[in-house]
Every structure is written in structure tokens, then in C-alpha cells.
């Protein structure tokens, strides 16, 4: 297939495909799917070998967000029956982080719902970062706190943060359809502030919100222009009680094509498989490992994920290996650029899932949003009915007395 040969050649040279080529990947047939995965897999292996980086989410503050992001279970007016609690204390957050590190996570993503942090919040999170770093040697920490004000990224960097996550989520042209309380440009500005402060920038998208192929290509090309080190790809889990609670329009095949397109556009970037993988990819999750080089371990912000041991078994069974703490995630040319910019860790940014890049359902624009993950294989979803059987609300880990899933 001439298209795939061209895209492989470009990916190995770190050359950007054309918009037409990216759209063509999304338009390939199911008969061509394995060829698409194999082609994108060559690019993934060129820059990341067979390593899989594990990331672990800690939801520092859950629910009651004043933003109106339609996809988010923590949004203003959400009727989703999620955990709601205020800020975890530093030792509580560090204990939660340690569970992920013990399970093999190399990076801990600290997420808080809300439009953005106050200066007092920055001080609180800075203390948490310092505590986690003291108690978990070598761990990378990514913060995902929403829209940043001037000087806040620098304060997080000084406290020891390695990265900052803030997802674009969707194309600029359709952004106003999913959120009205802040703008697409607000998100771009926050990613820029994090990057300028020497933090490793992480920014991604959410697929499955009713967007077109053109929208998907638009947001991935916009991310490429921002040049984040990490691009989390989230797949919407329609949470009952949110405006998108009946939006079921993804198949495993479409998810794989979206991941392949992202890899071709961002060949040497940490592409993270984030929220929604268990629900939408289901038994085809191992194929996605040929496209991405990073996943979240265990649960998400407000929803349960696949069992942590099942994640580890899946990676091993598919012939991949968990990336060790002493290994630099990014290819040398990118790692050197990060170090020169003052990022310090030389590793890639976190990433939340729609719950987001970093994986937050948080309103201000974190990562994994909403709920992700029951492992059962769904029947065909009725177009006008919420699928409450597929979304398991998180009732363990951070904010509870129960052990976390890691």
C-alpha cells in the first residue's frame, strides 16, 4: 500500500505527513487495519523499541468543578455518582503514589478538578510534590491542575515537578461545542506556559465526542505544532449524568486507526493510551501496544480501570516490556532538547486521559476525563441509551479507605 510505505518512510525521518495522508489513515477499511497497525508499529519501534512506560494517576481533589466540559464527570451540574472530596494531604497523596510506583509506574500524575489553581493551591501541590519525591526515589511527577496563571508553572518546576499536562481535547473549530467556560486558546496558552517554564509539556485529545475525521486531524496537527513531549489519546466514556452520556460511536477498529494516525503525525513523541481503552478497545488492547509506548496503570480519576496485574500481563503476553526507571523515555534527540530547556528529567510528559492527558476528568483541562473502564465486552450500544453497565465508578484508592488498584 503506497500510502503506508510513504508514512513509514516519513515517520522514520521524523517528517510530518500531509493532512490528506492523515485523513487517509482514518479512512482505511477494516480489511486494511492490520497493515495500518504494522506500518505504524515500525515507526513506534524505531523510536521506542518495545518499551511501555507506565503512568499512575492520583486524583488530589475530586468533583465539584465550576467548568462545564461536556465530557467530564466532575463538571458543573454533573449528576454522575462519583467520589467527591477536597484536597488530599501530602502524605495521603504520597501513599497513593507509592502504590503505583510499586506496581511499576515510572511517572505519577497529580490531578485536581477545577478551572485552575490559586497560589495557595500551588503551594499545597508543591508540598505534595516534594513529599512524593522524598518518599519515592527516582519517580517522575506530572501536575495537571487546569489553567495556569503567570508564574505558577515556574513554582511547580521549582518544587520538583517534571511535567505539566493540559489537553487540547478537540479541534479549535469544535471546541465551543463541548466547553463554554473557557476557550481553546486558554488551553494553548497553558501548555505554552508550562513549556516556557522548563516543564516537559504534555497535551492530548479525547476521541469519540461526535467529532469528524477532519477534527481529529486538526487537533493532532495542532498538538504537533505545540511540540509536547507526550500526547495522551483518550477515548470518551459516556458517563451517565453528563451531556455526552449517550455518545457511543467508537469501535475498536476506529480507535486503532486514530492511534495509528497520531503515531504517524507524532512519530518520536510519547504517545499514551489513556482513558477509555478498556471499554472501547476491549480484547484488541494488545494491538494498541504496537502504536503507543505508554499507558496508565490501574484506575483513572473517577472510574475504575483494568486490574493493574492484568495490565502487566497484557504487556508481557504481547511481547513488550515495562520501561525501567533508569531508562530515558524519549529518543535521544528529544531528551537532549528537554534537558537543554531545563526540564531536568529528560523524560516525557505525563498525559492525562480524557479523564485525560494526565488523565483527568477535571474541568480546567487536565487529562483523562470522566469514567473509564469496565473490562466486560459490550453489546452493540443503543444510540439513545446510556451504557451504565460499562462504566465502573471508582470507589477505591485516593479519597477512600480502600487499597488502590495498581
Tell me the CATH number at 92. 3.20.20.70
Residue 395 lies in a domain: no
CA dihedral (273, 278, 283, 285) in degrees, to 10, reads 10
CA 32, 7, 336, 340: dihedral to nearest 10 degrees? -110
142 in a labelled binding site: yes
Q: How many domains does the chain have?
A: 1
Say what the pLDDT of residue 384 is: 46
Any known ligand binding at 72? yes
Which residues are the active-site residues? 65, 69, 72, 109, 142, 202, 272
User: In 3-state terms, what secondary structure has residue 207?
Assistant: strand
* 400 falls within a domain: no
Say whether 343 counts as a known binding-site residue: no
Start-to-end CA distance of the chain, whole Å, equals 41
In the prediction, which pLDDT does 315 show?
A: 98
| Calculated CA dihedral for residues 114, 120, 122, 123, nearest 10 degrees | -150
- pLDDT tens digit at each of 406 positions of the chain: 799 999 999 999 999 999 999 999 999 999 999 999 999 999 999 999 999 999 999 999 987 888 888 887 777 777 776 778 889 999 999 999 999 999 999 999 999 988 999 999 999 999 999 999 999 989 999 999 999 999 999 999 999 999 999 999 999 999 999 899 999 999 999 999 999 999 999 999 999 999 999 999 999 999 999 999 999 999 998 887 778 888 888 999 999 999 999 999 999 999 999 999 998 999 999 999 999 999 999 888 777 788 899 999 999 999 999 999 889 999 999 988 877 776 444 343 333 333 444 443 433 334 444 333 333 334 444 444 545 566 677 877 888 888 888 8
Tell me if 266 is assigned to a ligand binding site: no
- The CA-CA-CA angle for residues 304, 307, 308, to 5°, reads 110
Q: Which residues contact 166 (CB under 8 A, 6 or more apart)?
A: 144, 146, 147, 148, 187, 190, 191, 194, 202, 203, 357, 364, 365, 366
Give the pLDDT confidence score for residue 374 in this predicted structure: 36
Residue 396 located in a structural domain: no
| Residue 17 per-residue DSSP state | P
CB atoms within 10 A of CB 383: 9
CB 108 within 8 A of CB 147: no
The reply to whether 202 sits in an annotated binding site is yes
Residue 303 domain flag? yes
What is the Cα–Cα distance from 144 to 116, expressed in whole angstroms?
Answer: 9
Note whether residue 404 is domain-resident: no
Cell of 371: 469514567
Does residue 68 belong to any structural domain of this protein? yes
Any domain includes 178: yes
Query: Phi, psi at residue 356, to the nearest 5°?
Result: 95, -150
CB atoms within 10 A of CB 124: 20
Cell of 46: 524505531
Residue 348 is part of which domain span?
A: 2-390
Q: State residue 343's pLDDT score.
A: 43
12, part of any domain: yes
pLDDT for position 202: 98
**Is residue 65 annotated as involved in ligand binding?**
yes
Give CA torsion, residues 229, 209, 108, 37, to 10 deg: -60
Amino acid at each position: 500500500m503506497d500510502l503506508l510505505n510513504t508514512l513509514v518512510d516519513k515517520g522514520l525521518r521524523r517528517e510530518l505527513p500531509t493532512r490528506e495522508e492523515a485523513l487517509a489513515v482514518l479512512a482505511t477499511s477494516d480489511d486494511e487495519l492490520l497493515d495500518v497497525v504494522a506500518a505504524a508499529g515500525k515507526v513506534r519501534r524505531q523510536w521506542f523499541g518495545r518499551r511501555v512506560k507506565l503512568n499512575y494517576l492520583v486524583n488530589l481533589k475530586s468533583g465539584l468543578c465550576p467548568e462545564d466540559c461536556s465530557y467530564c464527570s466532575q463538571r458543573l451540574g454533573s449528576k454522575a455518582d462519583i467520589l467527591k472530596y477536597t484536597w488530599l494531604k501530602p502524605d495521603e497523596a504520597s501513599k497513593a503514589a507509592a502504590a503505583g510506583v510499586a506496581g511499576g509506574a515510572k511517572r505519577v500524575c497529580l490531578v485536581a478538578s477545577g478551572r485552575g489553581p490559586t497560589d495557595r493551591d500551588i503551594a499545597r501541590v508543591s508540598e505534595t510534590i516534594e513529599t512524593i519525591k522524598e518518599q519515592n526515589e527516582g519517580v517522575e511527577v506530572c501536575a495537571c491542575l487546569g489553567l495556569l496563571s503567570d508564574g505558577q508553572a515556574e513554582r511547580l518546576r521549582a518544587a520538583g515537578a517534571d511535567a505539566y499536562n493540559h489537553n487540547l481535547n478537540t479541534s479549535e473549530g469544535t471546541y465551543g461545542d463541548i466547553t463554554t467556560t473557557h476557550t481553546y486558546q486558554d488551553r494553548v496558552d497553558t501548555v505554552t506556559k508550562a513549556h516556557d517554564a522548563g516543564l516537559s509539556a504534555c497535551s492530548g485529545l479525547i476521541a469519540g465526542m461526535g467529532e469528524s475525521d477532519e477534527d481529529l486531524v486538526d487537533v493532532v496537527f495542532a498538538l504537533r505544532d505545540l511540540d509536547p513531549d507526550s500526547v495522551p489519546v483518550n477515548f470518551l466514556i459516556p458517563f451517565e449524568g453528563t451531556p455526552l452520556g449517550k455518545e457511543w460511536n467508537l469501535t475498536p477498529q476506529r480507535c486503532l486507526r486514530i492511534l495509528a494516525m497520531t503515531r504517524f503525525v507524532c512519530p518520536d513523541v510519547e504517545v499514551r493510551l489513556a482513558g477509555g481503552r478498556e471499554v472501547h478497545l476491549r480484547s484488541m488492547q494488545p494491538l494498541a501496544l504496537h502504536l503507543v509506548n505508554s499507558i496508565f496503570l490501574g484506575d483513572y480519576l473517577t472510574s475504575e480501570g483494568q486490574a493493574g496485574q492484568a495490565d502487566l500481563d497484557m504487556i508481557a503476553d504481547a511481547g513488550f516490556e515495562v520501561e525501567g526507571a533508569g531508562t530515558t523515555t524519549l529518543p535521544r534527540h528529544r531528551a537532549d532538547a528537554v534537558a537543554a530547556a531545563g526540564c531536568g528529567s529528560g523524560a516525557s510528559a505525563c498525559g492525562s486521559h480524557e479523564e485525560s492527558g494526565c488523565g483527568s476528568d477535571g474541568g480546567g483541562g487536565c487529562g483523562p476525563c470522566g469514567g473509564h473502564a469496565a473490562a466486560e465486552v459490550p453489546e452493540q450500544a443503543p444510540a439513545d441509551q446510556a451504557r451504565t453497565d460499562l462504566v465502573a465508578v471508582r470507589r477505591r484508592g485516593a479519597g477512600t479507605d480502600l487499597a488502590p488498584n495498581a
